[in-house]
Amino acid sequence: MAAPPPCLAVITGIGLVSPFGVGGRDLMARVLQTNTTAIGPIAGFPTDKLSRHLGAEVPPTYLPPTEESRRWSRLSQMTVTACRQAVTDARLQGSETLPDVGLVVGSELGDLRSIEAFSLGFLRKGPLGLSPLLFPSTVMNAMAGTASIALGIKGPMLTLNQLGIVGEIAVARAIALLGAGRAPAVIVCGVDELFLLVHEALALLNVSSPCDGGEEACRPFDQRHNGPVLGEGATAVVLESLAHAQARRAPTLATVRSACWGGLAVRPHRYPSRRHLSSRILDQALTAGAIAPEDVDIAYLSGSGAPCHDEAELSLLVATFGGSSPLLTSVTHLTGEYGSLGTFRVAAAAVTLARGILPRLDYLCQPIRSDMRFATQSLPRLPLVVLIHGLARGGTQTALLLGRLQQNGQVC
């Protein structure tokens, strides 16, 4: 008898604080189904004197002030709200195991608004201008600390920072906590926000769209791509062992078959060139998940719209899949690009497995490669295996493989 497919964890809950609204798996399903971009003119800070004006913002009305949240920074508000939504979606609220749950928060840049306000106080007034109320929010793990207190959880807590793909790595680290028996379940939250100084700096460095002087837009994998458009948000997912989820009859969305990451030998802040390409990480993920390349139905890619990024990521997939490419899709054209977007991709992939919905790349008129299949139509059937692939400047690469859980509780 063949060995059962590996199952490192199951995804049982989703929480979103996004430009599309605040909610759980049903909101994610609507986002994927409607396939409408949230990118538009930025209203949160003035851009009239800047050369870039677009972004995907979370409106202030999605984070109404309360007696509890008035002491929190905006980034902590998004983190707490997303984690609470995920706990509710996973039906963990009020569970006896909630205090033992772990928490992993991934953020590329952290709370830059609080850091700026704290620093300006010193620059304007000297030591007397340093605010003791602002200082806790300048620490990188402030979001995780705030969320753990707000939710009453006391399990292991981690905060991770990684350029470009911190969301995926946060999921991988949460799986390691589950595998080590450190917690019965782990909440993973990826969170980043739009910030004027970052928006301005990327424009001055000619990194963000339009880096070639054309139209400002987000078009990953299209020949018209000319740089990323920034976004923001918080996405939380609840991960549990299969046994724990089944014991409490949790509403499972997907299983995690494998999670691998590593680095390619490239210069800092560069994407790998053809001579640096390696299929090692993708091959490891497929082997660990006991999955053949042709069995991967869909791949969620991290393509940002930066030409070097898009081209390098597709070349990495060709090195592993050759001519049997899975159906390729992305969420960047909907949400904009930010470092912790990986948790959004993981949540989207879980909903794709459970409901057969995926975002279509309707803008794709001239793909940069003609030998790959891009998602431009609805799915004809439920997929069995979905890949979430990430690639960051500096060569860090991630590969997570999700599978579908059958009605009898067996892993597909």
The pTM score is: 0.95
Render pLDDT for 134-152 as a digit per residue (tens, 0 to 9).
998 999 999 999 999 999 9
What CA–CA distance (Å, rounded) separates 300 from 389? 6
Q: How far is CA 391 from CA 173, 301, 388, 397, in A?
A: 17, 9, 10, 5
What CA–CA distance (Å, rounded) separates 261 from 280? 10
Q: Which domains does the chain have, with CATH numbers?
A: 9-403 (3.40.47.10)
Q: How far is CA 94 from CA 87, 98, 138, 224, 258, in A?
A: 9, 7, 31, 50, 30
What CA–CA distance (Å, rounded) separates 222 from 307? 9
Render pLDDT for 313-361 as a digit per residue (tens, 0 to 9).
999 999 999 878 899 999 999 999 999 999 999 999 999 999 999 999 9
If you average pLDDT over residues 362-382, what whole number do you get? Answer: 91
Does the pLDDT at position 275 exceed 70? no
Render pLDDT for 148-189 as a digit per residue (tens, 0 to 9).
999 999 999 999 998 899 999 999 999 999 999 999 999 999
pLDDT interval class at 65 (50, 70, 90): confident
- Strand, helix or coil at 37? coil
If you average pLDDT over residues 222-242, what whole number do you get? Answer: 96
If you average pLDDT over residues 5-11, what whole number do you get? Answer: 91
Percent of the chain with pLDDT over 70: 97
Task: With beta carbons less than 8 A apart as the criterion, state whether 350 and 237 touch.
Answer: yes
- Amino acid at residue number 22: V
pLDDT of residue 1: 43
Spacing of C-alpha 357 from chain mean position: 18
Task: With beta carbons less than 8 A apart as the criterion, state whether 230 and 41 touch.
Answer: no
Does the pLDDT at position 63 exceed 90? yes
What CA–CA distance (Å, rounded) separates 395 from 120? 35
DSSP state of 3: P
Token code pair at residue 188? 């993973």
Task: With beta carbons less than 8 A apart as the criterion, state whether 102 and 183 touch.
Answer: yes
Measured in residues, the chain has a length of 412
pLDDT of residue 273: 74
